[in-house]
Amino acid sequence: MILGISGSARKPDVSNTYKLVKIVLENTGCEYELISLRGKDISGCIACLGCVEDNVCKVEDDFREMRDKIVAADAYVIGSPNYYSGLNSMTHAFLERWFQFRHREGNLLWGKIAVAVGVGGTSGKYPANEIEKFFSYNFIQTIAKIFGQGPASCYSCGYGDSCKVGIPYFLYGEGVEISEESKPDVTKQEDVMKSAIEAGKLLGKMVKSGYDRSEITARMQKRMMEMFAGSV
């Protein structure tokens, strides 16, 4: 089973993050479950260390019902919208809670594989890179990153054509036109769709043929050690 997570706060039918995560999942040809974090009560890690002995978080919120699914999944597709050139807080809080899986050689997730998805009013690059970083901390290999452009709120707030701190103005300047046609939609971005479909196929192929978790684990461990080398 592949677990898909959309960290968008918007309803699935309007969220470009949800759409893009779904396209990746549909192309895996594997059984999958897609969960939206919208409306879920999930706090960030509170550093209580209650998970140190058994790798089980003791915070009582909606993460609890998701823990077993995360552990059971063969692979992940996680997407976040770009908020302030990073993850939105919902996705950040959700991923912080993966801290519970890491202690004392807790190898529940080590060596698994994943696709990171980011969607922004400009670009989804920042959140996708952040998701990859979170995966690395659990020795999960990101096999593909997908970046899409979604509709910034300025396309529906009513002031997008004149507001000088809005994304449309930043991107196109004076005279920018806000219309249904100019509203970015990942499903209309050919290169994004192509990468999402290819990523889904690759993920599905790797899940079906099996992959060497210990080899990936060793590689990810080395990469993390290289990342921190010389930082103190």
Ligand X SMILES: Cc1cc2nc3c(=O)[nH]c(=O)nc-3n(C[C@H](O)[C@H](O)[C@H](O)COP(=O)(O)O)c2cc1C
Residues that bind ligand X (CB under 6 A): 8, 10, 15-17, 81-85, 119-123, 150-153, 167
Cβ-based nearer residue to ligand X, 153 or 162: 153
Cβ-based nearer residue to ligand X, 60 or 180: 180
> For the purposes of burial, counting CB atoms within 10 Å of the CB of 43, is it exposed (0-12), middle (13-18) or buried (19 or more)?
middle
CB of 213 to ligand X, least distance (A): 31
Q: How many CB atoms lie within 10 A of CB 13?
A: 7
Which tokens in the block code for residue 160? 């997008």
CB of 122 to ligand X, least distance (A): 3
114 sits in the region (left: phi over 0; alpha: psi -120 to 50; else beta) called: beta
Q: Taking CB positions, which residue lies at the least distance from ligand X? A: 150
Instruction: Give residues with Cβ within 8 angstroms of 159, minimum separation 6.
Output: 166
CB of 43 to ligand X, least distance (A): 19
CB of 22 to ligand X, least distance (A): 11
Cβ-based nearer residue to ligand X, 2 or 152: 152
Strands annotated E in the chain = 2-6, 32-36, 75-81, 113-120, 141-149
Q: How many helices (H) and strands (E) does the chain have?
A: 7, 5
Cβ-based nearer residue to ligand X, 124 or 200: 124
CB of 97 to ligand X, least distance (A): 21
Which tokens in the block code for residue 220? 């990810």
Cβ-based nearer residue to ligand X, 84 or 228: 84
